[in-house]
């Protein structure tokens, strides 16, 4: 029997074409320790351009989360868009699941491309990884954009009722949906105005995006939360721009204010996008890009006309 047409697989192919059309190519780097990193890198790097790294969240792969931004950004930056471990073709046979390990792997991949200085945009889970890169490799990271990323959460916040879910286990069933019903819960949790999508497309999305590496992604979420304390979070000193959706229910906006207080007024700036939930890259994409551009371009005016 012929295989059914998959709209999501077709969309994935369109995104691949879009990334290629924007001047990026797919690259797979074997780090030599059982770890492989897949990254979209420039087809041709230009020394006069600064380097920019976009780090995606858990909801889908990098192409789905950043496609709207890559065209304009490739005009001004050597753009790198990695797939985190257990997304796309990135994986490891090692047992580590922390954002610290993710950050180390991405940094090793960047070094293999000859990139030793960069700016970073981290979305949701990608913000945890980007922040860790800035903390571990301060000389390599110039400035950082943190978008809807609860870096300052503490394990006790769950018990204190900060989140819409009451346990990590409940969060995992929603963040890694395996049924259309859970997928609808995810849409309600991440969007201020959830899109109405038929079950057939929800099933298609689950089959294409949510079945591979399910156990490993579950372990990523568990590692993010376990024993987390604000007192253990290192302070970074790079200029940091925090972007948050006003109606974020995954990481409530208080976590954005907490991060700004943690870093201090001289380091961090924060903007809030109205009428947007956690998925600010979708609901508030134009405003998010406007703020990103202003912050990132500040460092270009004198040295990169």
pLDDT digits (tens, 9 = 90+) for 58-109: 988 899 999 999 999 999 999 999 999 999 899 999 999 999 999 999 999 9
Cα dihedral value 148, 81, 65, 241, nearest 10: 20
> CA distances (Å), 4 to each of 177, 181, 206, 207, 212, in order?
21, 22, 15, 12, 19
Angstrom distance (rounded) from CA 104 to CA 149:
19
Kindly give, in sequence order, each residue whose CB lies less than 8 Å from that of residue 85, ignoring residues fewer than 6 positions away.
35, 37, 91, 92, 101, 102, 105, 216, 220
pLDDT at 76: 92
Kindly give, in sequence order, each residue whose CB lies less than 8 Å from that of residue 229, ignoring residues fewer than 6 positions away.
154, 155
pLDDT at 148: 97
pTM to 2 decimal places = 0.94
Short-list 213, 216, 215, 207, CA closest to 178: 207
Kindly give, in sequence order, each residue whose CB lies less than 8 Å from that of residue 240, ignoring residues fewer than 6 positions away.
134, 143, 144, 145, 146, 263, 267, 268, 269
Question: What is the residue extent of each domain of the chain?
Answer: 23-153+229-297
pLDDT at 3: 56
What does the pLDDT average to over 139-164? 93
Judge whether residue 305 has pLDDT over 70.
Answer: no
Q: What is the pLDDT of residues 244-297, one digit of tens each?
A: 999 999 999 999 999 999 999 999 999 999 999 999 999 999 999 999 999 998
Computed over every residue of the chain, the mean pLDDT equals 93
pLDDT at 1: 39
Judge whether residue 14 has pLDDT over 80.
Answer: yes
Pairing of strands 51-55, 118-123: parallel
Angle at 79 between CA 209 and CA 213, to 5 degrees: 20
Whether 118 contacts 110, CB under 8 Å: yes
Angstrom distance (rounded) from CA 255 to CA 251:
7
The CATH superfamily label for domain 23-153+229-297 reads: Alpha/Beta hydrolase fold, catalytic domain (3.40.50.1820)
Residue 79, strand partner residues: 52
Angstrom distance (rounded) from CA 287 to CA 274:
10
**C-alpha dihedral sign at 96, 100, 101, 102:** positive
């Amino acid at each position: 029997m012929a295989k059914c047409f998959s709209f999501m697989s077709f969309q994935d192919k369109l995104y691949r074409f879009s990334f290629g059309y924007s001047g990026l190519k797919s690259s797979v780097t074997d780090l030599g320790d059982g770890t492989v990193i897949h990254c979209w890198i420039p087809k041709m790097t230009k020394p006069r351009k600064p380097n920019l790294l976009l780090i995606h969240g858990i909801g889908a792969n990098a192409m789905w989360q950043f496609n709207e931004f890559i065209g304009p950004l490739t005009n001004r930056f050597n753009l790198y868009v990695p797939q985190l471990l257990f997304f796309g073709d990135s994986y490891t046979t090692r047992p580590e699941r922390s954002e610290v390990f993710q950050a180390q792997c991405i940094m090793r991949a960047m070094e293999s491309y000859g990139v030793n200085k960069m700016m970073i945009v981290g979305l949701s889970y990608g913000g945890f990884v980007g922040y860790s890169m800035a903390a571990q490799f301060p000389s390599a990271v110039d400035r950082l954009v943190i978008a809807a990323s609860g870096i300052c959460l503490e394990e006790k916040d769950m018990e204190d009722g900060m989140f819409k879910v009451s346990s990590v286990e409940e969060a995992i069933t929603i963040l890694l949906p395996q049924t259309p019903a859970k997928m609808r819960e995810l849409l309600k949790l991440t969007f201020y105005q959830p899109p109405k999508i038929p079950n057939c497309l929800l099933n298609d999305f689950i089959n294409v995006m949510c079945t591979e590496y399910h156990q490993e992604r579950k372990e990523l979420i568990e590692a993010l939360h376990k024993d987390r304390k604000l007192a253990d979070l290192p302070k970074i000193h790079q200029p940091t721009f925090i972007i948050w959706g006003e109606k974020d229910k995954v990481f409530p906006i208080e976590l954005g204010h907490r991060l700004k207080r943690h870093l201090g007024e001289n380091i961090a700036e924060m903007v809030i996008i109205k009428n947007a939930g956690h998925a600010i890259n979708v609901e508030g994409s134009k405003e998010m890009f406007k703020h990103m551009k202003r912050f990132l371009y500040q460092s270009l005016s004198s040295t990169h006309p």
